[in-house]
A and B are shown apart, each in its own frame.
Chain A
């Protein structure tokens, strides 16, 4: 059953990713990105990361994607006829070949390493949100604060950038 869900989420997210790159109209690309993000959040559920699933749906789909759609609708973009770089074909073939080789190497690797302190049974006992919260506010509190400062800077930067520019001195401008 898990395998069926994994195959569904993986295949649909890859298909949606290809559609994001290949579709012509930007709004259609944004809707394909919506499908991609929702199916990636489904993969998070399969990995016992319910908190990240909620964050993905709320932050990515609810905030970031709506921001993209808002800007798309605001700017009323027209689709251009030639939307690919003309030199694209020169590196699409080699890059696909390289990606297939990397895929082969990935599927060969067993990926084993030192186990941490949070096996699935411990995480499931109190829930993923509890485990993430305990870990975040004990070991990663500095990173948490840094991300807070970063988001404040990003908000201020976005406001400063998008503000309508005014003349510095209106008296001097008039004379």
Chain B
């Protein structure tokens, strides 16, 4: 039997890697991919607790997180297309139109 803390450990490692990707990478698309990775880490946590605490609610919340991730990907990629059409590169350092 695998202890619950093993799943939370995997989830924590994945989340930290995704956070590092968001902070460190410069390409906007890879930043979005790292956000997906963080959402997946949260999903592992939710499903693991749902299994070990014998409650279905965790799996439902994980399902909703997947739906939110789909919406986030759609809107984020649309923003990338708009930015790229305006001849701005996808480097997050050069995207500062809204910065005051």
Q: Do A and B come from one complex?
A: yes
Measured CB to CB, the closest approach of chain A to B22, in angstroms, equals: 9
User: A118 CA to B36 CA in the complex, in Å?
Assistant: 29
Q: Do B10 and A14 touch across chains, with their CB atoms under 8 A apart? A: yes
The main secondary structure of chain A at its interface with chain B is helix
A88 part of interface (Cβ distance < 8 Å): yes
Q: Do B74 and A155 touch across chains, with their CB atoms under 8 A apart? A: yes
> Which residue of the partner chain A has the closest CB to B33?
A33
Shortest Cβ-Cβ A-B pairs, 7 listed: A116-B55, A154-B71, A21-B21, A161-B78, A158-B78, A162-B78, A47-B51
A interface residues (Cβ-Cβ under 8 A, vs B): 2-3, 6, 10, 13-14, 17-18, 20-21, 26, 29-30, 33, 36-37, 40, 43-44, 46-49, 51-52, 55-56, 59-60, 63-64, 67-68, 71-72, 74-75, 77, 80, 82-85, 88, 91-92, 95, 99, 102-103, 106-111, 113-120, 123, 128, 131-132, 135-136, 139-140, 143, 147, 150-151, 153-155, 157-159, 161-162
